[in-house]
Amino acid sequence: MTRSGRGTSVEQIRPLAANHLCSYNLCRAVHGEILRRLLGRCCSFRPASEGSAEGAWTRGMRLLGLDIGTTTICGLLVEATTGRILDLASVRNTFRLPCTQPDEALQDPESILAASERIVGQLIGTDEAVAGIGVTGQMHGIVYLDGQGQPAGPLYTWQDGRGDREYAAGQTYASFISEALGAQVSTGMGFVTHYWNTRHGGAPERAVAFCTVADFVAMRLAGAARPLLDASNAASLGCFDLKDLRFRTDAAAQLGVSPSMFPPVALDYPSLGKGPGGAPVFMALGDNQASFLGAVGDRSRSVHVNIGTGSQISVYSERFAPISGIELRPFPWGGYIFVGAGLCGGRAYALLHDFFERTVRLFTDGTKGAAYEVMNAIGLEALPDPRKLVVDTRFQGTRSDPSVRGNIANLSPECFTPEHLIVGLREGIASELFDSYYRLPPEARRRIDTLVGSGNGIRLNPELRKAFERTFGMPMRVPAHKEEASYGAALLAGIAAGVLPDLRAAGALIRPL
């Protein structure tokens, strides 16, 4: 039985539910089937127009999505029946804290919470039609909490590098933990950071748990004092069993880490409590999953590419199917996404921009800031010679091997030009993600016929979009809305609140440019 099935009767469901009450996946399917049948009796769901009778029970309902990014905190208000964005608010995340070492990356969780509360209050105002608040944000990092849900220290972000410090001769903390767990973990992951802190007296004595910053904000918006994590955020911390969807408490104990620090994990998305305006606040999800949810209309047939400072490619899988070198991350309400991540991505393009601007300043008195416009206008037709450079953009290594470095190959007198370097670097960004895509099983790739792009690197650079289309051999769709993670959080709140029946209905609200 699937969530989209229509041939199972309630009489058939009832004994199944009684016999298999302990099976989460079956209970989720039963719940979805019953909800779908009830909805089918009162309305046939589809994005409704203002004057239609269908969806009248949710007309006027709004969903709020909040994304706590590393550099920006953004919230938006979405009309539940049409998917239209009604309002949007954002502030820069300027809450970085001073650090004693250059590899550390800390932020102030209380300032992030205060900014989030202002955004939510601004969007809700006196509106009583907000059906739910969804929260997402930067993954991997941790906030320590005391028994009252107050921060017991700073936010250690995903960019924190203490896990790459030397543990023993030739081995970093991250590589030691990976070997001990038999699973790859990276610096910046919460468990790696916490392990380093326990070894060096950095874990606060009054801390009773840790969680991601999105979980902290969702908890506090709801007036709760204990965090509750979904599998997407829990897995991002490390020391997590991806198949059984639970923290590996035995493995943590063997490493000398108290399992009591792990917060509880829920496999559905319950309300954490009432937030501003009385709207229910739902459990947070990871920003990778939220961006996928907020950008991809048909998750089973799409490959999603996101280019920001880094780069990421995501493909949905219904089953647990680990692949060496590819991350497998839990997805809301069952399934996973395969993820290939580049540490540079958009930053590689920024490095080339800075190189050109430095060159201009070195040889002329040229004005700073014009290089991006020139770079973005150069396409294949601008090459003075059809031969191409081959650019490997792994300038900052990879998650599994930080020592890897990029390179430029196929240099010749004819293609040693700025135009070739610009085109070659764009195609290198696309090729790095395509290499990850091609490592997926052939049966997973055969069902893909839609390339979805998001992030400023895609939106602001049409020639980069063309490079991806050439590399993947399919046209790229870009969502009409820009804040995909916030939008995905809003859609999740809609499903959790019962305003949207399922993921398929949520995907139907997404419109391309």
The CATH number for 186's domain is 3.30.420.40
In a domain, 191, yes or no: yes
In a domain, 426, yes or no: no
Containing structural domain, residue 214: 60-288+486-491
Instruction: Indicate whether 206 and 255 sit together in one domain.
Output: yes
Instruction: Indicate whether 110 and 192 sit together in one domain.
Output: yes
Instruction: Indicate whether 258 and 125 sit together in one domain.
Output: yes
Instruction: Indicate whether 141 and 250 sit together in one domain.
Output: yes
In a domain, 50, yes or no: no
Instruction: Indicate whether 37 and 101 sit together in one domain.
Output: no
Backbone angles phi, psi at 75, to 5 degrees: -130, 150
Instruction: Indicate whether 74 and 219 sit together in one domain.
Output: yes
Tell me, rounded to whole angstroms, the distance of Cα 24 from its chain centroid.
24
Instruction: Indicate whether 227 and 270 sit together in one domain.
Output: yes
| Amino acid sitting at position 190 | G
Instruction: Indicate whether 257 and 198 sit together in one domain.
Output: yes
pLDDT score at 81: 92
Instruction: Indicate whether 14 and 89 sit together in one domain.
Output: no
Rounded to 5°, the CA angle 457-460-461 comes to 75
In a domain, 427, yes or no: no
CB 200 within 8 A of CB 207: no
Instruction: Indicate whether 91 and 225 sit together in one domain.
Output: yes
- Identify the CA nearest to 340 among candidates 214, 444, 465: 444
In a domain, 477, yes or no: no
pLDDT tens digits for the chain (513 residues)?
333 333 333 333 333 333 333 343 434 444 444 433 433 333 333 333 333 333 434 445 899 999 999 889 999 999 999 999 999 999 999 999 999 999 999 999 999 999 999 999 999 986 668 999 999 999 999 999 999 999 999 999 999 999 999 998 889 999 999 999 999 999 999 999 999 999 999 999 999 999 999 999 999 999 999 999 999 999 999 999 999 999 999 999 999 999 999 999 998 999 999 999 899 999 999 999 999 999 999 999 999 999 877 788 999 999 999 988 899 999 999 999 999 877 666 677 777 788 887 777 766 655 555 677 777 777 777 776 677 777 777 766 666 666 777 777 877 777 788 888 888 888 888 988 999 999 998 888 999 999 999 988 899 889 999 999 999 999 999 999 989 999 999 999 999 999 999 999 999 999 998
Specify the number of domains making up the chain. Answer: 2
pLDDT score at 408: 77
CB 190 within 8 A of CB 237: yes
In a domain, 465, yes or no: no
In a domain, 225, yes or no: yes
pLDDT score at 365: 58
Instruction: Indicate whether 216 and 97 sit together in one domain.
Output: yes
In a domain, 236, yes or no: yes
Dihedral of the alpha carbons of 240, 244, 250, 254, in degrees to the nearest 10: -40
pLDDT score at 307: 86
pLDDT score at 51: 34
Instruction: Indicate whether 221 and 144 sit together in one domain.
Output: yes
